[in-house]
Amino acid sequence: MKRLFPYFKPYIWHSILGPLFKLLEATFELLVPVVVGLLVDKGLGVYVEGAGYVHADVDYIVKMSLLLVLFGVLGCVFAVVAQYFAARTATGVSAKIRSELFRRLQSLSYKDFDRLGTSTMLTRITGDVDRLQSGVNLALRLFLRSPFIVFGAVITAWIVDPGSVFTFILTVAALAVVVFSVMLGTMPLYKKSQEDLDALTLSTRENLTGVRVVRAFCREKEEEEIFDKRNEKLTRGRKVVGALSAITNPLTYVLVNGGILLLLYVGAIRVEDGLLTQGSVIALYNLMGQILVELIKFANLIVSVSKAVASGGRIGAVLTMQPSLETDEGLEEIGEDENAPFVEFRNVSMRYSDGGDPALENVSFALGRGQTLGVIGGTGSGKTTLVNLIPHFYDIYEGQVYVDGKNVREKSMQDYLRARIGVVPQKARLFKGTIRENLLWGRSDATDEELYEALKVAQALEVVADKGGLDAEVQQGGKNFSGGQKQRLTIARAIARKPDVLILDDSSSALDYATDAALKKALRGLDATVIIVSQRTFSVQNADQILVLDDGKVVGKGTHEQLLESCEEYQTIYRSQHTDAAKGVAV
């Protein structure tokens, strides 16, 4: 939680004025029982059996009634002002924290995303921040007000009748034990409950995003069972913490009402003995009622603050995370010679987790400016891992990766890598909006002519024409486009960036052979170094150099013709696909 304190700095005065106005409201509330007691004792006169109150002072009653109305109006005004300051602080702080969370998540590496998980990130940036906002709002309004009312009522009771103050102290002490016991018991349970909610959110998200796969393999029942187990675990945890929280109110009512009964018993005796007036008993009763209300509020506040503290800890854990990507300064360069490789791997090895098996092992190659590299291999051979190292999405643990003569770990290279490398990932993703807005993700200042040129290279002109132009609607995830259409538009988005390095990670798998051939031909006209990842030899056969990967190792390197003569793995892939293609089957 300490990590969140700096976000309150712009709202220091709001955080002070909110509780201050709430205390002013509480002061008037404490005065009400005293005024009511005076009104009964001095205004109503003496009660005579059969005759009612005699010698009533009407002017005094009117004056005190108007004073009560004034207290009510002032209390209402102060309460509204306090609510304004509390709400401004809570919403402002939560907005800043939410923005910082989003910025921090954007700065994390792919490895960090893999470790955190999408469901956890979504829960923390939405549900946890909402709970924190609610907790801050309630704390600013009630955290000082409720204790102030409780202790103020005890002091006021002592002023009214010192003999009754013991009853108040005994009641408050018993209530404090109950409230803080519940708080200490629920805080760790709320944290555990949020972790269970993350698991349930993950299950829900997986089923919604993968509903077609689930149904295609008739896995509905199994997924329902997984969801039910996680839901049951969350429900059990919520029941336990809910039961502990729910017991607070009845215990509080029992203790306070017991205190009221004791107070009325003692007060009746003292009135009978002439040591206490009827108005004083009424004042003491009202003060005890105020304690009841405030302690119930305080108990509920503790529950909300417990949730907020647990959520704040989870938020702070993300805010204190540092990107796992390693950068350094003054790393070795390989020179700026025109003949120097533009992209070079030197004995590169990489693993996804510490101590895990290498995803890539001892990979080396050099690619000149404007050349095309093809990367081919079976599923899980490390193709995507290799191209993700070029923009420095993951760290390597051995070797060096160079782009334009500089190590990708060089700090000064980070902005260049993101700005001058265009990546088309395996899964084509479009965002809700228009085709134009999606293409401008590549370069926000691109003109329509440049966008159409990118669409032409990506073989996507007919897609835009069929949909009605650049301003055609794109639904979330591109659901109103086919797989091939989405792939062509994502390729066009990357080309619109005019990158120095264009990485196509199996991005033409949904295209037919004719469209794929036209795309590869158009790409050769780009002033860029192109890296094509594919499982089809047809897509990479015209590349200047082809890497053949198997289980993270380079088992073949050369041109299409050279590999057909020297690389057994490439020959196997080519023969299988050449036979299938001859039969008209797109592999």
- Give the pLDDT of residue 503: 93
Q: Is residue 335 part of a domain?
A: no
- What gap in Å lies between CA 117 and CA 205, rounded to an integer? 11
Q: How many alpha carbons lie under 13 Å from residue 86 in its C-beta half-sphere?
A: 25
Q: Identify which of 5-9, 54-58, 205-209 has the greatest average pLDDT.
A: 5-9
Residue 581 has pLDDT above 60, yes or no: no
As a three-state string, the secondary structure of 32-75 is: HHHHHHHHHHHHCCEEECCCEEECCCHHHHHHHHHHHHHHHHHH
Q: Is residue 327 part of a domain?
A: no
Lowest mean pLDDT among 20-34, 311-325, 423-437: 311-325
DSSP 394: S
- Same domain, residue pair 18 and 125: yes
CB atoms within 10 A of CB 161: 20
Domains of the chain: total: 2
* % of the chain exceeding 70 in pLDDT: 94
- Give the pLDDT of residue 297: 80
- Same domain, residue pair 257 and 361: no
- Give the pLDDT of residue 89: 92
Q: Identify which of 124-128, 262-266, 575-579 has the greatest average pLDDT.
A: 124-128
DSSP 558: E
- Same domain, residue pair 314 and 348: no
Residue 585 has pLDDT above 70, yes or no: no
Q: Is residue 121 part of a domain?
A: yes
Among 303, 319, 335, residue at a domain's last position: 319
- Same domain, residue pair 426 and 527: yes
pLDDT, tens digit (0-9, with 9 covering 90-100), for 440-472: 987 888 899 999 999 999 999 999 999 989 999
pLDDT, tens digit (0-9, with 9 covering 90-100), for 163-179: 778 888 888 788 778 77
- Same domain, residue pair 354 and 301: no
- Give the pLDDT of residue 435: 92
- Give the pLDDT of residue 454: 92
**Given CA atoms 219, 222, 226, 232 in this order, what sign does their dihedral have?**
positive
- Give the pLDDT of residue 530: 92
Residue 19 has pLDDT above 70, yes or no: yes
Mean pLDDT over 253-281 rounds to 79
Mean pLDDT over 395-402 rounds to 88
- Same domain, residue pair 27 and 169: yes
- Give the CATH number, domain containing residue 33: 1.20.1560.10
pLDDT, tens digit (0-9, with 9 covering 90-100), for 180-234: 787 777 777 877 887 788 788 888 878 887 888 888 888 888 888 888 999 998 8
pLDDT confidence of 293, banded at 50, 70, 90?
confident
- What gap in Å lies between CA 565 and CA 344, rounded to an integer? 25
pLDDT confidence of 364, banded at 50, 70, 90?
very high
- Give the CATH number, domain containing residue 467: 3.40.50.300
Q: Extract the tokens encoding 92.
A: 């402002």
CA distances from 397 to 358, 409, 502 (A): 10, 12, 25
Residue 331 has pLDDT above 70, yes or no: no
Q: Is residue 392 part of a domain?
A: yes
- Give the pLDDT of residue 577: 81
Residue 584 has pLDDT above 70, yes or no: no
- Same domain, residue pair 58 and 143: yes
Q: Is residue 338 part of a domain?
A: no
- Give the pLDDT of residue 587: 34
- Give the pLDDT of residue 456: 93
400 versus 250: which is more confidently predicted?
Answer: 400
- Same domain, residue pair 367 and 493: yes
Residue 583 has pLDDT above 60, yes or no: no
Among 284, 319, 354, residue at a domain's last position: 319
pLDDT confidence of 49, banded at 50, 70, 90?
low
- Same domain, residue pair 178 and 302: yes
Q: Extract the tokens encoding 553.
A: 């190792």
Residues 6+ apart with CB under 8 A from 382: 359, 360, 363, 549, 551, 552
Tell me the whole-structure pTM to 2 decimals: 0.68
- What gap in Å lies between CA 500 and CA 454, rounded to an integer? 15
pLDDT confidence of 582, banded at 50, 70, 90?
very low
Residue 373 has pLDDT above 90, yes or no: yes
Residue 576 has pLDDT above 70, yes or no: yes
Q: Is residue 479 part of a domain?
A: yes
Residue 580 has pLDDT above 70, yes or no: no
- Same domain, residue pair 421 and 309: no
Lowest mean pLDDT among 3-7, 117-121, 201-205: 117-121
Q: Is residue 330 part of a domain?
A: no
- Give the pLDDT of residue 8: 87
Residue 579 has pLDDT above 80, yes or no: no
Among 282, 304, 319, residue at a domain's last position: 319
Average pLDDT of the chain, as a whole number = 84
Q: Is residue 463 part of a domain?
A: yes
Residue 436 has pLDDT above 80, yes or no: yes
Q: β-pairing, 473-474 with 433-434?
A: antiparallel
- Same domain, residue pair 278 and 412: no
Mean pLDDT over 517-521 rounds to 89
pLDDT, tens digit (0-9, with 9 covering 90-100), for 412-431: 777 778 788 889 988 888 99
User: What does the buried/exposed string (b/e) look like for 91-112 if buried means 16 or more CB atoms within 10 Å of the residue's CB?
Assistant: ebbbebbbebbeebbeebbbbb
Name the amino acid, one letter, at 247.
Answer: I
- Give the pLDDT of residue 526: 87
Q: Give the domain extent around 455.
A: 343-582
- Same domain, residue pair 130 and 208: yes
pLDDT confidence of 54, banded at 50, 70, 90?
low
